[in-house]
Structure 1
Amino acid sequence: MADVDRGNRPLSPHLQVYKWPLNMAMSILHRITGVALGIVTALIAIWFFALAWSPDAFAAVNGLMTSWLGWLVLLGGAVSAWFHFVNGIRHLVWDTGSHFGQKRVNRTAVIGLAVTALLTIATIWVALAV
């Protein structure tokens, strides 16, 4: 086998070298929000199970879910739900074979983020109005 001096060879570029395209970040966020939706759904199910179990169990879980941490988790769930929904529609449009190309993909990503923000704000507004 050849004697190779591994100390003088250049290293291949890593993630820090590359600029993340918006579409790659949206794809990663879509997967993360899918997992987050599963977790938030499980927490809400536990909340309902505690309501059915006993008043003491409900008081404990309700105290946690209505605390600042619970509100933060529910807000994250709302953002995740709207992002996953809007990005899912974007993927459905792609499944038809349209809106491909770098400019269109970037435009729909920015529009998706804006719509996610607007729908989350609307959700908060409706939740606080009740």
Structure 2
Amino acid sequence: MSKSAATRARPLSPHLQIYKPIPTMVMSIVHRITGVGLYFGILLVAAWLLAAATSEDWFNTVSAIYGSWIGRLILFAYTWALIHHMLGGIRHLVMDTGKALGKQSSTTVATAMPFVSIGLTLLLWVVGYFARGA
């Protein structure tokens, strides 16, 4: 007697462990992660604005926290997430117009994304420090 349909091996649905990571897939995942990071990072901006509107003591306390090395590291990561997410959005906007949809061009743009976002983040922080006079 042959096996019934219920006992035959069924095909598995593909998942991330099956696929080889390619730049476009990795950048899509990073884009989602930076979106979540921005969601929580906006709380930092809200706390800063609330402190600025509340009192000078509270503003100085928040400024001291953000000015510490761990605060600056978090703000740097937030800045990178903001720039990376913005570049990902621009990338998708360009792709929505029908450009850069080919395998080579989309892979090239996705491969350049981390380097461009890190470079722009560093540039923004350097300009910020020079403008501040620190």
Tell me the percent identity. 39
How far residue 123 of structure 1 moved from its aligned partner, in angstroms, is 0.8
Take 2:85 and 2:91, find their aligned partners in 1: how far apart are those partners? Answer: 10
Structure 2 residue aligned with 1:40: 41
The reply on whether 1:113 has 2:133 as its aligned counterpart is no
Letter in 2 for 1:74: L
The reply on whether 1:87 has 2:84 as its aligned counterpart is no
Letter in 2 for 1:79: W
How far residue 100 of structure 1 moved from its aligned partner, in angstroms, is 1.2
Take 1:89 and 1:58, find their aligned partners in 2: how far apart are those partners? Answer: 34
Equivalence map 1:1-130=2 (5 Å): 15-129=16-130, 130=132
Take 2:108 and 2:42, find their aligned partners in 1: how far apart are those partners? Answer: 31
How far residue 14 of structure 1 moved from its aligned partner, in angstroms, is 6.2
How far residue 114 of structure 1 moved from its aligned partner, in angstroms, is 2.5
Q: CA RMSD in A?
A: 2.4
Letter in 2 for 1:55: E
Letter in 2 for 1:61: V
Take 1:17 and 1:99, find their aligned partners in 2: how far apart are those partners? Answer: 26
How far residue 124 of structure 1 moved from its aligned partner, in angstroms, is 1.6
Letter in 2 for 1:113: P
Letter in 1 for 2:93: L
Give runs of ≥4 in structure 1 deviating > 3 Å: 12-18
Query: SS where residue 116 of structure 2 aligns?
Result: helix
Check 1:15–1:88 CA distance in 2 against 1; reply closer, same or farther (3 A cut): closer
How far residue 117 of structure 1 moved from its aligned partner, in angstroms, is 2.1
How far residue 113 of structure 1 moved from its aligned partner, in angstroms, is 2.4
Task: Output the TM-score relative to the length of structure 1.
Answer: 0.81
Query: SS where residue 36 of structure 1 aligns?
Result: helix
How far residue 16 of structure 1 moved from its aligned partner, in angstroms, is 4.1
Letter in 2 for 1:23: T
How many residues are paired up?
126
